[in-house]
Structure 1
Amino acid sequence: MMELFISAFITLFVVIDPPGCAPIYSSLTTGASSEQRRTMAIRSVLVAAAILTLFGLVGEDMLRTLGIGLDAFRIAGGIMLFFIAMDMVFEKRTQRREDRAEKIRSTPEVEDVSIFPMAMPMIAGPGSIATVMLLMARTRGVEQSAIVFAALAANLVLMLLALLAVAPIMRFLGDKVEAVITRLLGVILAALAVQFVLDGLSGSIL
């Protein structure tokens, strides 16, 4: 069970990427008071938690309704995660997030960024939704499902802490350290993505 928790935690941590979202949140909330930042951080994590939990609980039933097999979803999700990993290794993902943040900053009427873009697609984006569904598809029984949700909860708590402590985190990490961490996590995610594809291929063949 501990092995499942560690595997799910690392996978979700790499995809949700609390250290990567923190600087984006800092740039989006420039000029906001400490109380406003805290309120938006809490709201964004709660909304993202609701979205990811919903897909974790009913995602498999939704796929079944659409006539999509779990093995097909594993392969598609693994390919998606692999592209995310490549973007992380070559820092394209960070650049896209910064570009998205710049568009939001340039729109004066947008003040509350907790729902968009923070909750979705920054935290509960296509990659994290697919990851939660893939992890849930690999579980057997209520106990294993609870472990996956515990790993998700732990990551969301880390996300909240990262958003609340974004200023000291940015001073501590710096751009170079963050780039190194992002690349290392990208390599790990690439390996996990390949494993998802292999699981899907194995299930469809057998």
Structure 2
Amino acid sequence: MNDWISSFVFFFAVIDPVGTLPVFIAVTARHAEWQKRKIALLAVLVASAILLFFLLAGQYLLETIGVPLSAFQVAGGVVLFLFALTMIFGEGKPEQEMGIVKSGHETAIFPLAVPSIASPGAMLAAVVLTDNYRFDPIHQFRTATAMFAVLGIVLMLLLTAQWIFRFIGDCGASIVSRVMGLILASVATTNVLLGIQQFFSI
């Protein structure tokens, strides 16, 4: 159970469902309610397919091109840490992706599905948390359920986005993103340490 909660928190931090709300609201500002629901469903389905691909085939892809998972884990941990620093000290996720929306890319695929929901951090999490050399199929299945649980929360939040955003506002969404950034920084550091340990133990 603790492993499932850990995976859930990891995916929640890297996907940042609350931080997606302002992006979704901006993308769907000129759409009818039924269109907003359709866009939300499409965005989550596309993001789920992308993350499922990385969960099932990400490690095999790395091994095919000769990259050990430990190296990917260290590199990904460094990237995640830098990403977490931008969440903490720089523009939060809502501000970054609102800029994308304002540039005219207003579709369910971009920036909603990618990179808002299926973020690079989420793709990394899908690979690292299902390492075939560290985790058995049962553990990997639990990780997948944790990932889909977070995606379910994303869908629920998007379907109720207008009401939630009126309650928390831009400031609330930014605060949540920064808290998730702090959690992500600690997770990224752990990944780097585990990757180094695994590399030298081979």
Fold match by TM threshold 0.5: yes
1:102-146 C-alpha deviation (Å, 9 max, x unpaired): 1126xxxx5xx1112211122112221111111112752111001
Question: 2:109 & 2:174 partners in 1: Cα distance?
Answer: 26
1:193 to 164, 168, 188: 188
Question: 1:76 & 1:201 partners in 2: Cα distance?
Answer: 10
Residue 103 (structure 1) aligned with residue 86 (structure 2): no
1:35-91 C-alpha deviation (Å, 9 max, x unpaired): 000001001101110110011001111000010001001101111111111111124
The aligned amino acid for 1:46 is L
What residue number does 1:25 align with?
24
1:126-170 C-alpha deviation (Å, 9 max, x unpaired): 221111111112752111001100010001001101111111111
Mapping of 1:85-104 within 5 angstroms? 85-94=84-93, 95-104=95-104
| Length, aligned pairs only | 199
Partner SS, residue 179 of structure 1: helix
What residue number does 2:113 align with?
119
| Normalised TM-score (structure 2) | 0.94
Residue 67 (structure 1) aligned with residue 69 (structure 2): no
- Tell me which moved more, 124-133 or 65-74: 124-133
Mapping of 1:153-164 within 5 angstroms? 153-164=148-159
| Normalised TM-score (structure 1) | 0.92
Kindly state the Cα deviation for residue 176 of structure 1 after the two structures are TM-superposed: 2.7
